[in-house]
């Protein structure tokens, strides 16, 4: 027992006297710090953006409600229906809604798809869009191409390389220097000893990363205790991924290649898992799940719009049959020279075109979803993909979150549209209370089910396979000279 | 002597089964990426033609309506794909595919393809540029990391030197051996790609000089890596050390610096948020013409100008519909404001670009990638150029519709136009930015690549002369 | 203590060792002489279980090496021709490390004593091994063997490359060890060292042990003459 402690102590001493090891660890920790700082800055901007948007809505609503109050109190009068605060036109054009995707406490670990999407969406009722789930941002596409420096990148891409560089020659170096003969003359099994050396490196790196991460989370004021479950999941994820690369390195060590060969094999494996397999999966997803061009969908919408315009009366009648509560005898509603009448006509046309277009649009979205689901399934081919997707899920910045957010926003927009249109189409005078109680959006997390259990099991399977291979190779006698 | 060394080096490598395997695998990857890219390109250019004519058909088949309503409904212009985009897709997946042209508002490109994919899409696609920028340098490292260290470890270097070889000759010979292997892969890719692009026979074609320019950039990129490999291998104490150092360099050059420079550029010269950008535009527009506001000061001034021009007293006396003139003038004015703000954004990007240029001194991948994307017309420059051209067209398009109102709506209640008008509006004819202009815009990037190549070569030649033999 | 019974090792058709029968008892120093490729190192590697015999058996302390490799290694210590230690550790730390690997627990004073006994000064013992000469490293190797309290010591050309003084010190250490009852098997080219240090001398050629003598029964000149005669084809 005491001897084991001595061996471990001296291994650690050697590790921390090794300049290359210290250099790599330093690079890792510096990159982790930079990544966290960058992500923090990034999300501060995004948070401020959402806050501004929500404030704008609140102020607008307050102002409108106050105007209605003063109108009803006879304190103000308005010349045109366009500016009348209680009119549906005013509500439609001046008081947009904002839906927003809440930020996870652990958003600090991955920007994920956050550089592609805003965390808020302006819901307006007048925009003639064929692509309701779109969101608009102002980002340099170069930023999106090269991607952001975040912890997920450091862990998924760089950590494995650092692991491989610090462990690829644990055995081969001993053989190449000739020291192995001395080791092998001791009453121990070589593979036990290699396992010990690898495990010491594994635990050292893991403990360093985790304690440093904990420190970073404290410095950047992340509520770790309040989100203990996510934190534990994060630790397990890191453990599994780090273990995967160390076991791989152990396996290649046992296989008995020379140092150079081992490093080439390990680096190639890294390229395969981090670059090649993901790109092949993406490519296959495109080939096997062919989806028509988004451009066709736009053109279809335009064609539907033209079609609707050429038979507008029939289409309007159909609309009222579908929404009898939108029908009104008020002459204002059919007077095109009145702003209410004109807008009812204008908005109805857009709405009808959208309804006519919807099946095609939804079908397209569904095809996109099923292709992405296909990719999600085949993420199992590479631990890098599993971990990337797990980390972005924990950070609440995965594509699944943003796409669900846009879908939920679209649904909210429909509900909201129906609510406002009912009032607008019947020339209803909105009250201040109605303005204060407009339907509110909340993001439904249940619709983005977690994948931690699956990720855990798949990673476990990877580790088991490696373990079995290691076991088989450990039976093979080791070349000593 | 150099030739002998190179020959020996090549023989040594081809006898090594693992090198043969690596070469075969990379060649297969290259071919696969090329075939896939070619198919993608064919598909994209077919879709482009089809969707473009469908968009025009939709425009022309609109029912009769107020021309300004038609302008509001608007039309789309689609970004074309240059044949060289087959090699480098650049920012294509992130920058949107179409621009909607309507009344009063300049819009950004929409339909960002990347948004249609899951986050795993960010791992990348199997494209030639991926193989060129990441895989081939790595392959070169694997081929050459032990060029010198093995001779040192087996002490054959002493024998070679005793036989009268000079260290610089050894270095050049080994350099040549790596270069020859690289040039094989390089030829395979660029010749095959160029030939297949001509055989596809799309309407757009890039001349040979542009293919050569694109190929030349990558040739320099590989030479830089070969120089570094030979240098490190000569300096390193062991093969393991050489490989470790080279891999670390590779990570820094291809992964860390590009990402870090992006962040640095973003921190130093951030883009405004969309809200701020729009607020700024709105602020400028509040007091200006907008075509629907007849009452503000700018509208009053314009009205006076028009009345003076026609020498009449009131709007009613004008021979044309004043509303149309106001719309047309408002459109021009609004477009100027948009242009001003988009130009500001572009100048912000130009500042970011200066950061990328400085970082290019740390990683040759940056200038190489910027040049490659520029030549392939998949860079930010292309995006700006296309959107600027589309905006010019949008003003023409709106002017034509609004002037039609001015000419025909005089005294008509609810004037409407029909298909003849829609068909008479000219189509958008995008002219590619000439290659000379692009190259001029990228002189610094090119100089940076050249600097890298020359300096690293000198490094190899000078510093291998005094390496430690034992 | 060390025992080879009808031991053979072949690589394909090449016979590296043929029907070797050898016994080294406690307190004996058995020196194997022979040209390169005679089978000396093969013999030692077989005792260490670095390679497996094609036929025959190797026993250490009566235990079969091939059947219980880990157990037999408890009894032996090994010093290769060029002993390489961990450069980032000091001599003392290296000794501590290898002693712990041998599952022996020794306190630090004891280990320091052993280093001194092996002839390494304490100030040197606390410096990193990266600055050691070969002789200093061999001394650490001896200390490792001492700390392990090995019953048998296997040496492969331990004195090659040592200067005569260091070589002499090494011989004295070996004599002291065998005096304490350790069995020593040493492969060497050095006839003088063999005759001086050894109790038994065997001459090998092409995988066969041709002749063996008791050291006290043969003089150095006779041994040299015999050796050269045997090496002739």
Residue A62 has pLDDT above 60, yes or no: yes
Q: Determine, for residues C84 and A182 on separate chains, whether the beta-carbon distance falls below 8 Å.
A: yes
Residue B101 · residue B414 · CB < 8 Å = no
Residue B266 with chain A: CB contacts under 8 Å = 140, 143
Alpha-carbon distance C151 to nearest alpha carbon in chain A (angstroms): 13
Q: How far apart are CA A157 and CA A161, in angstroms?
A: 7
Q: How far apart are CA C114 and CA C107, in angstroms?
A: 11
Nearest CA in chain B to A47: B273
Question: C108: nearest CA in chain A?
Answer: A6
What's the average model confidence in pLDDT over A455-468? 96
Please determine, for residue B201, whether its predicted confidence score (pLDDT) is greater than 70: no
pLDDT recorded at residue B222: 96
DSSP B31: H
Give B193 or A116, the one with higher predicted confidence: A116
Nearest to B391 by CA among B192, B71, B100: B100
**What would the pLDDT profile of B62-75 be if each residue is shown by its tens digit?**
989 899 989 988 99
pLDDT at B189 over 90: no
Q: Which residue of A has its CA nearest to B45?
A: A293
Residue C31: name the closest of C15, C43, C49 by CA.
C43
**A–B touching, 3+ CB–CB pairs within 8 Å:** yes
Q: Does the pLDDT of residue A126 top 90, yes or no? A: no
**Regarding beta strands B75-78 and A120-123, do their DSSP bridges make them parallel or antiparallel, or are they unpaired?**
unpaired
- Of the residues A9, A177, A181, the best mutation for testing chain C's interface (the one with the most C CB atoms within 10 Å of its CB) is A181
**What pLDDT digit, counting tens, does each position of A188-220 carry?**
888 899 999 999 999 999 999 999 999 999 999
Q: How far is B191 from chain A (nearest CA, A)?
A: 24
- Residue A200 makes CB contacts below 8 A (sequence gap 6+) with A8, A11, A12, A15
Nearest to B85 by CA among B75, B76, B95: B95
Chain B positions in Cβ-Cβ contact with residue A34 (cut-off 8 Å): 260
Nearest CB partner across the interface for A165, out of B61, B78, B247: B247
> Mean pLDDT for each 10-residue chunk of chain C (233 residues)?
91 90 92 89 91 92 89 90 90 93 87 90 91 89 89 88 84 87 91 88 91 88 90 79
Q: In which band, very low, low, confident or very high, does the pLDDT at A230 lie, cut at 50, 70 and 90? A: very high
C contact test, residue of A4, A186, A192, A478 with most C CBs within 10 A: A186
pLDDT tens profile A302-354: 899 988 888 888 999 999 999 999 998 888 888 888 888 989 998 999 899 98
Q: What total number of domains does chain C contain?
A: 1
For residues A5-15, average pLDDT: 93
The answer to whether the CB atoms of A13 and C101 lie below 8 A apart is no
Tens digits of residue pLDDT in B103-116: 989 999 988 888 88
The DSSP secondary structure of C53-76, one letter per residue, reads -SEEEEEETTEETTT-HHHHTTTE
The neighbours of chain B, by the rule of 3 or more Cβ pairs under 8 Å, are A
CB B175 within 8 A of CB B9: no
CB–CB of C83/C29 below 8 Å?
no
Any alpha helices (H) in B252-379, and if so which ranges?
257-268, 274-286, 297-310, 322-359, 365-375
pLDDT attached to residue C215: 85
First to last CA, chain A: 30
Nearest one of C54, C14, C58 to C154, comparing CA atoms: C58
Closest CA to A416 of A395, A437, A387, A439: A439
Strands C63-64 and C152-156: unpaired
Report the DSSP pairing between strands C152-156 and C183-187.
parallel
Helices C108-117 and C134-148 cross at an angle (nearest 10°) of 130
Burial of residue A348 (CB within 10 Å: 0-12, 13-18, 19+) is: buried
Gap between the Cα atoms of B258 and A93, Å rounded:
43
Q: Are B9 and B147 spatial neighbours (Cβ–Cβ below 8 Å)?
A: yes
For a pLDDT cut of 90, what percent of chain A falls above it? Answer: 68
**C97 and A179 in contact by Cβ < 8 A?**
no
Name the residue with tokens 């090329």. Answer: B34
pLDDT > 90: percent of chain B = 48
| pTM exceeds cut of 0.80 | yes
Rounded to an integer, what is the distance from CA B230 to the centroid of its chain? 32
pLDDT at residue B237 in the model? 84
Instruction: Round to whole Å and give the CA distance between A390 and B281.
Output: 40
Mutation pick from B50, B115, B356 vs chain A, by most beta carbons of A within 10 Å, is B115
How close does chain B come to A138, measured CA to CA in Å? Answer: 5
Residue A430 DSSP code: -
Rounded-to-10 torsion of CA A466, A470, A473, A477: 170
Cα separation, A101 vs C24, whole angstroms: 81
Contact between chain C and chain A (3 or more Cβ pairs less than 8 Å apart): yes
List the beta bridge partners of residue B100.
Answer: B76
How many angstroms away from the CA of A367 is the closest CA of chain B? 10
- B392: which residues sit within 8 A by CB, 6+ positions away? none
**Residue C80, min C-alpha distance to chain A (Å):** 7
ipTM: 0.91
CB contact under 8 A, C82 and A178: yes
Residue of B81, B77, B97 lying closest to B89 (CA atoms): B81
Chain A residues whose C-beta is within 8 A of a chain C C-beta are: 2-4, 6-7, 10, 13-14, 17-18, 177-179, 181-189, 193, 477, 480-481
Pairs of CB atoms within 8 A across A/C: 82
What residue segments make up the domains of chain B, in order of their start?
2-463
At B377 the three-state DSSP class reads coil
Contacts 24+ apart (CB under 8 A), A335-341: A338/A81, A339/A80, A339/A81, A339/A82, A339/A89, A340/A81, A340/A87, A340/A88, A340/A89, A340/A424, A340/A427
| Chain B residue with minimum CA distance to A272 | B135
Closest CA to A87 of A453, A443, A468, A427: A427
> What tokens does A200 get?
């010491």
The reported pLDDT for the residue numbered A477 is 65
**C-alpha triplet A175, A176, A177: angle, nearest 5°:** 95
If you measure CA to CA, which chain A residue comes closest to C100? A3
Which residues form the domain of C216?
1-70+183-233
* C148 assigned to some structural domain: no
Given the structure tokens 């070569």, which residue do they identify?
B457
| pLDDT recorded at residue C162 | 80
- What DSSP string runs through A14-65? HHHH-HHHHHHHHHHHHHHHHHHHHHHHHHHHHHHHHHHHHHHHHHHHHHHH
In a domain? residue C164: no
* C14-24 vs C2-11, strand pairing mode: antiparallel
Q: How many Cα neighbours within 13 Å face the side chain of A405?
A: 25
C105 with A183: Cβ contact below 8 A: no
- Residue of chain A whose alpha carbon sits nearest to that of B117: A372
A-chain CB neighbours of B42 within 8 Å are none
Cβ neighbours of A248 (radius 10 Å):
25
pLDDT tens column, B148-157: 888 888 888 8
Physical contact, B and C (3 or more Cβ pairs within 8 A): no
SS3 content of chain A, % helix, strand, coil (to 5): 75, 0, 25
Q: Are C13 and A444 contacting, i.e. CB atoms less than 8 angstroms apart?
A: no
Average pLDDT, chain B: 89
Q: Which residues of B touch A41 (CB under 8 A)?
A: 267
Given the structure tokens 């009053």, which residue do they identify? B300
Decide: B9 and B150 in contact? Cβ < 8 Å.
no
Answer whether C4's CB lies under 8 Å from C46's CB.
Answer: yes
Q: Nearest residue of A to residue B276 by CA position?
A: A49
Q: Which among A128, A263, A299 has CB closest to B58?
A: A299
Q: Is B418 helix (H, G, I), strand (E, B) or coil?
A: coil
Residue B225 burial class via C-beta count within 10 angstroms: exposed 0-12, middle 13-18, buried 19 and up: buried
Phi, psi of A329 (to 5 degrees): -95, -10
Cβ-based burial of B278 (10 A; exposed 0-12, middle 13-18, buried ≥19)? middle
Rounded Cα–Cα distance for residues A205 and A22 (Å): 11
- Is there a contact between B352 and A140 if contact means CB atoms under 8 Å apart? yes
Distance between CA B360 and CA C1 in Å, rounded?
Answer: 69
Q: Which CATH number characterizes residue C63's domain? A: 3.40.50.300
- Does the distance separating the beta carbons of A53 and B380 come in below 8 Å? no
Region A49-54: mean pLDDT is 94
Please calculate the CA angle C109-C110-C111 and round it to the nearest 5 degrees: 90
CB proximity C95 to A under 8 Å: no
In chain A, the residue whose alpha carbon lies closest to the alpha carbon of B143 is: A264
Q: What count of other Cβ atoms lies within 10 Å of the Cβ of residue A453?
A: 10
pLDDT at residue B148 in the model: 86
What tokens appear for B332 in the block? 């021009």
Residues of C in contact with A2 (CB under 8 A): 105
Closest CA to B131 of B219, B245, B229, B34: B34
Other beta carbons within 10 angstroms of residue C113's beta carbon come to 16
* Dihedral sign of CA atoms A379, A206, A239, A31 in order: negative
With CB atoms and an 8 Å threshold, state whether C50 touches A181. yes
Count other Cβ atoms within 10 Å, centred on residue A238: 21
- According to DSSP, the residues that pair with C184 across neighbouring strands are C29, C153
Question: Could B271 and A294 be called an inter-chain contact, meaning their C-beta atoms sit closer than 8 Å?
Answer: no
Asked whether residue B470 carries a pLDDT value surpassing 60, the answer given is no
Subunits with 3+ C-beta pairs closer than 8 A to A: B, C
Q: Do A6 and C97 touch (CB under 8 A)?
A: yes
Using alpha carbons, select from A392, A34, A402, A50 the residue that is nearest to residue B257: A34
Joined tokens for residue C223: 């041994």
C98 vs A4, A17, A186: nearest CB: A186
> A186 and C97: CB-CB below 8 Å?
no
DSSP state of C212: E
User: Greater confidence, C201 or B467?
Assistant: C201
Residue-range domain boundaries for chain A: 2-35+152-271+460-476
CB contact under 8 A, B349 and A302: no
- Judge: A142–B380 Cβ closer than 8 Å, yes or no: yes
């Amino acid at each position: 027992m005491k001897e084991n402690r001595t061996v471990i102590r001296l291994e650690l001493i050697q590790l921390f006297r090794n300049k290359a090891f210290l250099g790599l660890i330093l690079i890792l920790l510096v990159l982790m710090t930079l990544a966290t700082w960058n992500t923090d800055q990034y999300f501060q901007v995004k948070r401020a953006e959402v806050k501004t948007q929500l404030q704008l809505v609140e102020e607008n609503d307050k102002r409108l409600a106050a105007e209605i109050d003063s109108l009803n109190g006879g304190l103000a009068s308005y010349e045109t229906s366009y500016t009348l605060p209680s009119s549906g036109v005013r509500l439609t054009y001046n008081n947009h809604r904002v839906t927003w995707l809440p930020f996870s406490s652990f958003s600090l670990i991955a920007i994920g798809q956050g550089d592609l999407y805003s965390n808020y969406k302006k819901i307006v009722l007048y925009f003639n869009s064929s692509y309701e789930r779109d969101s608009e941002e102002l980002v340099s596409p170069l930023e999106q191409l090269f991607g952001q420096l975040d912890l997920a990148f450091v862990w998924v891409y760089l950590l494995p390389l650092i692991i491989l560089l610090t462990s690829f020659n644990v055995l081969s170096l001993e053989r190449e220097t000739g020291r192995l003969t001395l080791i092998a003359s001791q009453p121990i099994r070589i593979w036990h000893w290699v396992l010990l050396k690898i495990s010491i490196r594994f635990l050292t790196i893991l403990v360093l990363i985790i304690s440093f991460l904990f420190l970073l989370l404290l410095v950047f004021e992340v509520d770790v205790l309040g989100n203990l479950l996510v934190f534990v999941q994060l630790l397990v994820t890191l453990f599994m991924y780090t273990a995967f690369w160390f076991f791989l390195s152990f396996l290649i060590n046992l296989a008995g290649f020379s140092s150079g060969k081992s490093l080439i094999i390990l680096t190639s494996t890294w390229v395969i898992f981090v670059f090649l397999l993901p790109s092949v999966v993406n490519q296959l997803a495109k080939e096997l799940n062919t989806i028509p061009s988004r451009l066709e969908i736009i053109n279809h919408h335009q064609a539907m719009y033209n079609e609707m315009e050429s038979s507008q009366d029939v289409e309007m009648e159909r609309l009222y049959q579908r929404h009898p509560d939108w029908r009104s005898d008020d002459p204002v509603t059919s007077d095109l020279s009145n702003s209410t009448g004109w807008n009812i006509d204008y908005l109805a046309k857009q709405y009808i075109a959208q309804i006519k277009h919807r099946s095609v649009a939804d079908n397209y979205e569904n095809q996109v979803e099923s292709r992405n689901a296909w990719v999600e399934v085949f993420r199992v081919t590479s631990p890098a993909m599993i971990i990337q997707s797990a980390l972005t899920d924990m950070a609440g910045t995965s594509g699944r979150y943003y796409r669900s957010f846009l879908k939920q926003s679209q649904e909210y927009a429909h509900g909201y549209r129906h609510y406002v249109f009912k009032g607008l189409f019947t020339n209803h005078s909105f009250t201040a209370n109605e303005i204060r109680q407009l339907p509110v959006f909340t993001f439904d997390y249940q619709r983005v089910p977690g994948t931690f259990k699956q990720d855990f099991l798949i990673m476990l399977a990877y580790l088991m396979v490696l373990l079995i291979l290691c076991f088989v190779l450990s039976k093979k006698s080791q070349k000593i000279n | 002597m150099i030739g002998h060394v190179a020959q020996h080096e090549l023989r040594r490598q081809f006898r090594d089964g693992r090198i043969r395997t690596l070469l075969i695998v990379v060649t297969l990857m290259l071919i696969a990426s090329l075939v896939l890219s070619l198919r993608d390109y064919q598909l994209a250019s077919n879709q482009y033609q089809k969707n473009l004519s469908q968009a025009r058909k939709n425009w022309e088949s609109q029912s009769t309506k107020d021309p300004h309503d038609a302008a509001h409904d608007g039309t789309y212009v689609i970004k074309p794909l240059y044949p060289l985009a087959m090699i480098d897709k650049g920012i294509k997946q992130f920058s949107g595919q179409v621009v909607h042209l309507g009344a009063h508002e300049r819009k950004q490109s929409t339909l960002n393809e990347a948004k249609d994919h899951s986050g795993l899409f960010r791992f990348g696609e199997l494209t030639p540029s991926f193989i060129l920028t990441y895989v081939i340098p790595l392959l070169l490292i694997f081929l050459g990391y032990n060029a010198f260290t093995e001779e040192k470890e087996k002490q054959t270097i002493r024998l070679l030197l005793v036989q009268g070889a000079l260290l610089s000759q050894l270095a050049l010979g080994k350099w040549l051996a790596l270069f020859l292997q690289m040039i094989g892969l390089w030829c395979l890719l660029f010749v095959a790609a160029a030939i297949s692009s001509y055989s596809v026979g799309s309407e757009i074609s890039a001349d040979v000089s542009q293919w050569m320019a694109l190929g030349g950039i990558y040739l320099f990129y590989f030479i830089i890596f070969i120089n570094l490999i030979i240098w490190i291998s000569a300096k390193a104490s062991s093969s393991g050390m050489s490989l470790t150092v080279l891999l670390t360099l590779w990570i820094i050059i291809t992964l860390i610096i590009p990402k870090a420079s992006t962040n640095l550029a973003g921190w130093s010269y951030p883009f405004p948020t969309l809200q701020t950008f729009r607020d700024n535009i709105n602020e400028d527009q509040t007091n200006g013409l907008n075509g629907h506001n007849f009452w503000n000061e700018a509208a009053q001034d314009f009205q006076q100008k028009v009345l003076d021009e026609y020498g009449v007293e009131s709007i009613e006396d004008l021979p044309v519909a004043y509303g149309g003139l106001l719309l047309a003038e408002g459109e021009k004015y609004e477009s100027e404001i948009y242009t001003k703000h988009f130009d500001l954004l572009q100048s912000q990007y130009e500042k970011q670009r200066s950061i990328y240029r400085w970082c290019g001194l740390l990683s040759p991948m940056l200038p190489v990638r910027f040049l490659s994307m520029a030549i392939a017309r998949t860079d930010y420059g292309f995006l700006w150029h296309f959107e600027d051209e589309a905006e010019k067209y949008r003003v023409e398009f709106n002017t034509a519709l609004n002037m039609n109102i001015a000419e025909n709506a005089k005294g008509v209640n609810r004037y409407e136009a029909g298909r003849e008008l829609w068909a008479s509006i000219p189509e958008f004819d995008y002219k590619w930015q000439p290659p000379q202009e692009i190259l001029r815009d990228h002189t610094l990037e090119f100089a940076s690549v050249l600097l890298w190549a020359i300096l690293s070569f000198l490094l190899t030649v000078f510093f291998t002369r005094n390496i430690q033999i034992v | 203590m060390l025992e080879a019974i009808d031991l053979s090792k072949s690589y394909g058709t090449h016979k590296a060792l043929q029907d070797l029968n050898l016994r080294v008892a406690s307190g004996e120093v058995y020196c194997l002489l022979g040209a390169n490729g005679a089978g000396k190192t093969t013999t030692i590697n077989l005792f260490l279980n670095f390679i497996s015999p094609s036929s025959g058996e190797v026993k250490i302390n009566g235990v079969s090496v091939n059947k219980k490799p880990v157990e037999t290694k408890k009894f032996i210590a090994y010093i290769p021709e060029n002993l390489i230690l961990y450069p980032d550790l000091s001599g003392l730390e290296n000794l501590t490390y290898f002693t712990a690997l041998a599952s022996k627990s020794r306190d630090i004073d004891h280990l320091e004593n052993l280093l001194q006994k092996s002839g390494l000064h304490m100030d040197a013992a606390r410096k990193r091994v990266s600055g050691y000469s070969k002789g200093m490293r061999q001394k650490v190797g001896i200390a490792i063997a001492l700390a392990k309290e090995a019953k048998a010591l296997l040496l492969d050309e331990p004195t090659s490359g040592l200067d005569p003084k260091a070589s002499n010190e090494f011989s004295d250490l070996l004599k002291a060890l065998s005096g304490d009852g350790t069995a020593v098997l040493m492969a060497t080219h050095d006839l003088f060292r063999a005759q001086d240090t050894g109790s038994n001398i065997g001459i090998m050629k092409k995988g066969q042990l041709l002749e063996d003598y008791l050291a006290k029964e043969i003089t150095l000149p006779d041994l040299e003459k015999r050796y050269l005669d045997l090496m002739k084809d």
